[in-house]
Structure formats: structure tokens, C-alpha cells
């Protein structure tokens, strides 16, 4: 359907209905109707949509069957990684993932700067601006982390693997020069998240083993079990810092391992994400976090369809 295609293209560009509406000179409600299939865009709107999405009008109107379940996302990401293919799914997964997961945690780098670091290994600096070196290092490290994650994506999740994730993310940063920070190992000092107490350092290893044993005992892993693991991991908060980024890379890996469309939480959705984690961990409501992750999964499906669906 045309409406579904408009939605997928919009989400692949990380645009809101309001942003698309501004380009077309219509109300956001009109875009909503386009996507729902209750209203069809006129030819002028179709031309603007095609230009915005960098496709032809024929491409927008063309009917094509897209079945995400028939696509091996891990295989595609690995293949494009080995090819060093630019401008496709792997390339944009790296940039989208690094920018959003770091920005959620306070990085000041823009998406354009993140892209520039990935594509040129240099920093696009703004005049008279001061850039935190840790932001640069953790962005570059996240690119390495995604590559390592893809290498081990189909392997069993272990404490050793999770610690290696943390070591890669924090390598060379100012935190790595602090003895008490314990890069690549569990925390030495208590921490908290969202005002909630986390597992005490002396109990981290015990709680991580319990979480992994529960996860390993599952007869079937769906996205809901992966979200449950994620909420449990963030409640333990096993590392001194970097827990959110490590937790999200684990979720991505486990989706790939279990042939589930992965998800990347976008910075613009971080308030929904934080609220969802808080409600999940305090036993108030699981649905909020699940819905946030499922929405992020839909967004990644749009990215896959944009780069792979028409091949």
C-alpha cells in the first residue's frame, strides 16, 4: 500500500509526520491519513514526497511485496561489513546506532559529526566550539563495538562477552585511566539510575549469573524476553558507567541471534524509554517499555525495507 510505503520511507529518515507535513505544506493530520490509507496524496504531493525520500514517483506507487521474515539481517550486516559497503544498511546502522545511543547518555556530538567521524575518521568541528574527547572516543569505540557484536552475534551471551563489550566501549577514555572505574569489569562503587538504587557491587556477579541463567533456561526467546532481559540488566547496572549503551547493544545482538528484527532506541524517544524502564523495573507497567521498543523495531524495519526491500 502507498500509505505503508510513505510511513516506511518517513521512518527510515527518522522524520515525524509533522516534519513531512511542513515539507508538503499540509497539516500533520493529512500525513496521518496518507499513511492510514484513508486519503491519497495528489500528484504535487507525490512529487514532493518522492523528492524528499530521494525516490521516483513510480517507485512510490509501485506495488511490491516485502516480507521482513524472509530477510536474514545478520547475514546482510556481516556481508556489507566485510565489503565495507557505503551508504547501505550496515553503514547507516553504524551511524544511527552510535549517534542515538551516545546522545541518550549525554554526548554532545551531532548526527552529522557522528557520520563524519565514521566516514572520514576526522571530526567536523564547529567554530569556537569545544568538543569532549570522550564523546569522540566513545563514538569511534561504538563503531568497533558494533563490529565485534556482529562477529559474535550468533554465539551464546556470557558474562565474559558482556565485559568485553564494556572494555571496547570505554577503551582509551578518561574513565579507563581511573583505577576505581574498573573498565571491562563490574563496578566497585554503588550507582543508581533514574533515582532507583541498583545492585550493590558485592552482589553484581551473583545477580548477573541469575539473570543469565534465567535467560539461558528459556525454551523460546521473543522480543518480549529480550526486553525483559534488558530491563533486568539495567536494574542491576553492573558497570560503573556505560550500562545503557551495553544493555542496548546486547538487545540488538540477541535480536539478531534469534532472527528477530532488532531495534535502536532513538534519542528523540529517550523520555519514553526512561519512563518505560522505570515503570518496568518498579513493577508498575511493562507495556510502556515494550511499546517503545516495538516502535523502535518498526523504525528499523523501515530502514531495512528502504535499503534492502527493493533489491
The pLDDT value recorded for residue 37 is 87
Q: Could you give the CA distance from residue 26 to residue 28 in angstroms, rounded to a whole number?
A: 7
Write out the chain in H/E/C secondary structure: CHHHHHHHHHHHCCCCHHHHHHHHCCCHHHHHHHHHCCCCCCHHHHHHHHHHHCCCHHHHHCCCCCCHHHCCHHHHHHHHHHHCCCCCHHHHHHHHHHHHHHHHCCCCCCHHHHHHHHHHCCCCCCCCCCCCHHHHHHHHHHHHHHHHHHHHCCCCCCHHHHHHHHHHHHCCCHHHHCHHHCCCCCCCCCCEECCEECCCHHHHHHHHHHHHHHHHHCCCCCHHHHHHHHHHHHHHCCCCCCHHHHHHHHHHHHHHHCCCCCCCCCHHHHHHHHHHHHHHHCCCCCHHHHHHHHHHHHHHHHHHHHHHHCC
Can you tell me the mean pLDDT for 95-114?
96
Can you tell me the mean pLDDT for 75-101?
96
Residue with cell 525495507: 305
Q: Per-residue pLDDT for 310 more than 60?
A: no
The pLDDT value recorded for residue 207 is 98
Percentage of the chain beyond pLDDT 90 is: 79
Q: Per-residue pLDDT for 274 more than 80?
A: yes
The pLDDT value recorded for residue 64 is 62
At 128, list the grid cell.
569556537
pLDDT tens sequence across 54-69: 988 888 887 666 678 8
Q: What is the CATH number of domain 70-309?
A: 1.10.3290.10
pLDDT tens sequence across 235-273: 999 999 999 999 999 999 999 999 999 999 999 999 999
CATH architecture of 2-63: Orthogonal Bundle (1.10)
The ranges assigned to domains in the chain are: 2-63, 70-309
Q: pLDDT-based confidence at 221, cuts 50/70/90? A: very high
The pLDDT value recorded for residue 8 is 85
Q: What angle (nearest 5°) sits at the alpha carbon of residue 148, between those of residues 278 and 281?
A: 10
Q: Per-residue pLDDT for 286 more than 80?
A: yes
The pLDDT value recorded for residue 279 is 95
The pLDDT value recorded for residue 135 is 96
Q: Per-residue pLDDT for 142 more than 60?
A: yes
pTM, full prediction: 0.80
Average pLDDT value over all residues in the chain: 93
The pLDDT value recorded for residue 63 is 67
Is 57 or 74 the better-scoring residue by pLDDT? Answer: 74
Q: Per-residue pLDDT for 127 more than 80?
A: no
Q: Per-residue pLDDT for 9 more than 60?
A: yes
Amino acid at each position: 500500500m502507498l500509505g505503508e510505503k510513505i510511513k516506511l520511507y518517513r521512518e527510515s529518515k527518522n522524520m515525524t509526520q509533522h516534519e513531512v507535513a511542513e515539507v508538503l505544506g499540509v497539516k500533520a493530520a493529512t500525513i496521518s491519513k496518507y499513511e492510514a490509507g484513508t486519503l491519497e496524496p495528489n500528484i504535487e504531493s507525490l512529487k514532493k514526497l518522492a523528492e524528499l525520500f530521494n525516490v521516483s514517483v513510480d517507485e512510490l506507487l509501485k506495488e511490491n511485496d516485502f516480507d521482513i521474515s524472509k530477510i536474514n539481517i545478520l547475514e546482510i550486516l556481516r556481508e556489507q561489513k566485510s565489503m565495507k559497503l557505503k551508504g547501505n544498511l550496515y553503514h547507516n546502522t553504524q551511524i544511527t546506532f552510535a549517534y542515538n545511543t551516545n546522545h541518550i547518555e549525554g554526548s554532545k556530538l551531532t548526527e552529522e559529526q557522528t557520520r563524519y567521524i565514521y566516514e572520514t575518521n576526522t571530526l567536523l568541528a564547529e567554530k569556537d566550539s569545544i568538543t569532549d574527547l570522550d564523546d569522540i572516543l566513545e563514538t569511534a569505540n561504538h563503531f568497533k563495538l558494533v563490529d565485534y557484536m556482529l562477529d559474535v552475534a550468533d554465539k551464546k551471551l556470557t558474562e565474559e562477552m558482556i565485559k568485553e563489550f564494556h572494555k571496547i566501549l570505554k577503551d582509551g577514555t578518561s574513565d579507563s585511566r581511573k583505577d576505581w572505574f574498573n573498565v571491562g569489569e563490574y563496578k566497585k562503587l554503588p550507582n543508581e539510575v533514574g533515582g532507583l538504587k541498583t545492585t550493590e557491587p558485592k552482589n553484581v556477579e551473583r545477580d548477573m549469573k541469575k539473570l543469565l541463567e534465567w535467560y539461558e533456561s528459556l525454551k523460546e526467546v521473543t522480543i518480549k524476553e529480550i526486553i525483559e532481559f534488558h530491563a533486568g540488566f539495567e536494574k542491576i547496572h553492573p558497570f560503573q558507567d556505560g550500562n545503557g549503551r551495553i544493555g542496548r547493544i546486547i538487545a540488538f545482538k540477541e535480536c539478531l541471534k534469534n532472527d528477530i528484527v532488532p531495534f535502536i532506541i532513538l534519542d528523540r524517544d529517550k523520555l519514553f524509554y526512561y519512563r518505560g524502564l522505570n515503570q518496568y523495573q518498579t513493577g508498575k507497567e511493562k507495556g510502556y517499555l515494550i511499546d517503545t521498543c516495538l516502535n523502535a523495531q518498526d523504525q528499523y524495519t523501515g530502514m531495512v525495507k528502504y535499503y534492502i526491500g527493493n533489491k
